[in-house]
Structure 1
Amino acid sequence: MSEYVIDDREMPRFRVNRQAMVDPDVFAKERDRIFEHSWLYLGHETELRKKNDFTTRTVAGRPLIFARDNEGNIRVWVNSCPHRGAMLCREPRGNARFLTCFYHGWSFSTAGEMVAMPGDEAYGEDFERPDLAAPPKVDSYRGFVFVSFDPDIVDLKTYLAGATEYLDLVCDQSELGMEVLSGTHEYSVKANWKLLVENSVDGYHAVSTHQRYFEMVLAARGKLDPSALGASRGIDLGNGHAVIAGEPATEDLFGRPLSEAGAQERADRYARFRELYGDGWVERMQGTRNMVIFPNLIVIDLVMGVVIRKIDPVTPDYLEVSAWELAPPDEGDELRKQRLDNFLTFWGPGGLASPDDVEALETCQVGYGGRKELGWSDISRGMNGSVNSSTDEFQMRTWWRRWNELITGEQLPPEEQAPLDGVFVAPRRSPDHAESAV
């Protein structure tokens, strides 16, 4: 039996040992057994709009350069000069034909090839001029670029498993492909990284934690009718990935109301998508989804915007977050303006949701100081039924079982759930999109 997870199907009860949130040894095991052997999100292709664009990222503790070379190909390099290790790119983003180390002047193309070495003659004719180093695996799906440091890992699409279907529901919202809007929301939380994973797929906390947001919505709309919400389900997508998927509401509930012009444009867009993909797929598209792609990528399609959230563990009690908004590049100015307003009001750094979540997670981490007296967190909600909803914790348990398997070797059986039906299984009529070539 795992020392970190109790999965009692008879009671039923699911508990997680709070030691997993504070122990440096657990954190070291996560780095070695999870982050060294998973596909990890790096960035979106649309962040690199021009040849020789680059941005810098940290993935699994490694500094990386995410670039588009002079031929327009996506490239990923370790952000370290092969000479003495200095970072090649110290700026967060830019455009440059050559990546030159400021320390000794070694220079490389965005394709990773060495182009200049000051005092080259001092090395001799047979000296092997090094190129830049790359992660063993780089691949993408629908513009989402991932890396893995495990050369023997399964291919990306196999790893993503059922998550590909929900990425398709996001990416099909534009015939041109979705784009990441300029600007990055970067923040930190004094809490364990797994708490933000849980929070991102937790519908149970919404009303109590985000009361101010719902008060704003009520003031803006004059009413707030929960009965307009459709059904929702937590769904196991395989390999530790999970999603809360919601049916479309019978009327808009969240955010400030769209203008007449904005509402009409949105309706026209969905009418076009029905022609392309069929009614059932578009009905699913009009619903909501909070998805975690194991271990640390969150994609949330809710409140007039799609959030891409990359969670980076730094220490057992400190994490950093990078978040972006994904949007259709072909929507009109009016709808884009209202999308941004609603998105920032909820998700932004001064919004009515993200700061609440940070506060909640940091109080949890403080509370773990009493773990000798209260040693276990409970994640049992919904275990007593076969049809869960967004306020249950099925999706968190799905993630934790995969975590537990990788950390301890113990493989716990999945929970039995009633088969999905209706809008949750409506197929996409048109052929699948091909993945982007990296």
Structure 2
Amino acid sequence: MSYTSEKLIDDRQNGVFRVHRSLMTSPEVYMDEQRRIFDHCWLYVGHESEIEKPGDYVRRTVAGRPLIFLRDSGGEVRVFYNTCTHRGATLCREDSGNTRVFQCFYHAWSFDNTGRLLVTPGAEGYSSGFRKADYNLRGPARVDGYRGLYFVNFDRDAPDLVDYLGAATEYLDLVFDQACDGMRVVDGSHLYSVGSNWKLMVENSMDGYHAPTVHATYIDFVKDSGGGQRGNALNTGGGLDLGNGHAVMESLAAWARPIAYWEPFFGDDARADIEAILDDLIARHGEERARRMAGTFRNLLIFPNLIINDVAAITIRRIEPLAADRHRLEAWALAPKEEVSGSARLQRRLDSFLTFLGPGGFASPDDVEALESCQEGFRADEPEWSDISRGMSTAPNPQDEIQIRTFWRAYVSMLDTGKFAERVTSLEAPATAAMEAAS
């Protein structure tokens, strides 16, 4: 089967783009994408600040594989499969912690945090052909990081991470350069499962079209508090194909942002402090780049399943497929290290994060309801196709869908050929890079 010809309609001449709904319902498709996409792409595992000290570790599941993301006693970042090399039992059974030794609860085989097998109880029972070095912990073929974000790749022949990220690094830099001394993941995370195909969450995470309807309550809340004054913001900016399946939707910030964009519900006493953030950004990065950081928001996809939302706050979203009709979402708040715990700046950021994207916020519950409703609707026999044609032949607009089409073009191309679709630089109007109107 050719996914490109049978499951995707990409008619650029007539401005029609449709995706067959079986891509969101078929267990066979789910198995294909695990082998052809997740086994070969760089996949996010964690941020360096989560394992700040030697011996720190966190548990993760990436592409169905249990992993330990850690910093060894010498300070090196490592990733191991979370399975004992003896009989396969889960080795690390805590979500996070600090240790020099991992001991399997089954037969007490013990490993140091460089992966070396240290102890095999009853070692005298093994023959001379048994070598401890053969049982050291193992990990994914490739591990690499960019700006503190660490990724794994299960394909030894995969391109280097920086080459894979390509043009997406510009947008990652816009996020990470907001900090004076680097970013950190704030303690705690949101973890929840959703009864829908994982690709619907990818779409939703960078879709501006649903905001005025699904998030109308939040928009009204901002307006009622005297905010959202830049009414043209929702019509300024748009999506961009960044190559290798990566995409971004960038627009003027219409709503509250704790980074140099004051809103009345932050309080009058916060205004001078927020304006000082902008002054500092201008001093460090110049007027144009600073105002782009502070005055625009961006929803960035790192293909296939990492979303960096720099909107109400900075959020890392990792989408883990579980089945054709279920996925798990993990979300973390990212903040500059200088915003220390208890500070007014960090409190504003976390309040903004929770108000919009928190488990009881204005956005996340409604988004989950929308996606699960779509999955329920897919049980109907007709229509067979979902439409993603908006903006194929018009001037760029944040409510258009080129960023979603970018994902789907890469997705079916990877399923068919193992290679990414060619980057769209024509026939679809790209967003302006800096949006000079940002202020």
CA distance in 2, matches of 1:227, 1:251: 15
Q: Distance in 2 between matches of 1:23 and 1:260?
A: 53
User: Residue 421 of structure 1: CA displacement?
Assistant: 4.5
Among candidates 204, 224, 229, match of residue 219 of structure 1:
224
**Count of residues in correspondence between the two structures:** 423
The one-letter code matched in structure 2 to 1:308 is I
**Distance (Å, rounded) in 2 between the aligned partners of 1:274 and 1:5:** 45
- For the 8 Å contact 1:247–1:423, the answer to whether it is kept is no
Secondary structure of 2:225's aligned partner:
helix
Report the Cα offset of residue 262 of structure 1: 2.9
Q: Please state how far the C-alpha of 1:52 moved relative to its aligned partner.
A: 0.6
Which position in structure 2 is the counterpart of 1:383? 392
Partner SS state of residue 3, structure 1: helix
Match of 2:281 among 273, 287, 302: 273
- Is 1:166 paired with 2:171? yes
- 1:364 and 2:374 matched: yes
8 Å CA contact 1:191, 1:319 repeated in 2: yes
State the shift of 1:329 in Å.
1.7
2:193 counterpart of 1:182: no
Equivalent residue in structure 2 for 1:373, among 382, 404, 412: 382
8 Å CA contact 2:12, 2:427 repeated in 1: no
| Letter matched to residue 383 of structure 2 | L
Residue 230 of structure 1: CA displacement? 7.0
**Which residue in 1 is equivalent to 2:290?**
282
1:107 equivalent in structure 2: 110
2:308·2:315 contact (CA, 8 Å) conserved in 1?
yes
Partner of 1:431: none
Question: Cα offset for 1:249?
Answer: 5.5
Cα distance between partner residues in 2 of 1:251 and 1:98? 45
What SS class does the counterpart of residue 314 from structure 1 fall into? strand
Change (3 A) 1:269 1:254: closer
Tell me by how many angstroms 1:196 deviates.
Answer: 0.2
Residue 153 of structure 1 is matched in structure 2 by: 158
* 1:373-403 alpha-carbon deviations (Å, 9 max, x no partner): 2100000000122x32210011000110000
**Paired letter, 2:349:** R
Segments of structure 1 that go 5 or more residues without pairing to the other structure are 427-438
Superposition map of 1:38-187 within 5 A: 38-129=41-132, 130-187=135-192
Whether 1:32 and 2:43 are equivalent positions in the alignment is no
CA distance in 2, matches of 1:341, 1:87: 37
| 3-state DSSP of counterpart to 1:221 | coil
Displacement of 1:72 in angstroms is 1.6
Displacement of 1:11 after TM fit? 1.9
Partner of 1:243: 248
2:316 is aligned with 1:308: yes
SS in 2 for 1:320: strand
| Inter-CA distance 176–211: structure 2 relative to 1 (3 Å threshold) | same
Structure 2 residue matching 1:226: 3-state secondary structure: coil
1:84 Cα deviation after fit: 0.2
- 1:219 CA drift (Å): 2.5
CA distance in 2, matches of 1:2, 1:367: 24
CA 1:155–1:229 in structure 2 vs 1: closer, same or farther (change >3 Å)? same
Other-structure match for 1:2: 5
Q: Aligned partner of 1:381: which letter?
A: R
What's the C-alpha RMSD, in Å, of the aligned pairs? 2.2
Q: What SS class does the counterpart of residue 265 from structure 2 fall into? A: coil
Residue 216 of structure 1: CA displacement? 1.9
TM normalised by structure 1 equals: 0.92
Q: 1:56 to 1:425 in 2, by over 3 A?
A: farther
Structure 2: gaps spanning 5 or more residues: none
Cα distance between partner residues in 2 of 1:96 and 1:420: 48
Q: Secondary structure in 2 aligned to 1:202?
A: coil
Residue in 2 that maps onto 1:13: 16
Q: 1:237 to 1:228 in 2, by over 3 A?
A: closer
| Structure-1 residue corresponding to 2:301 | 292
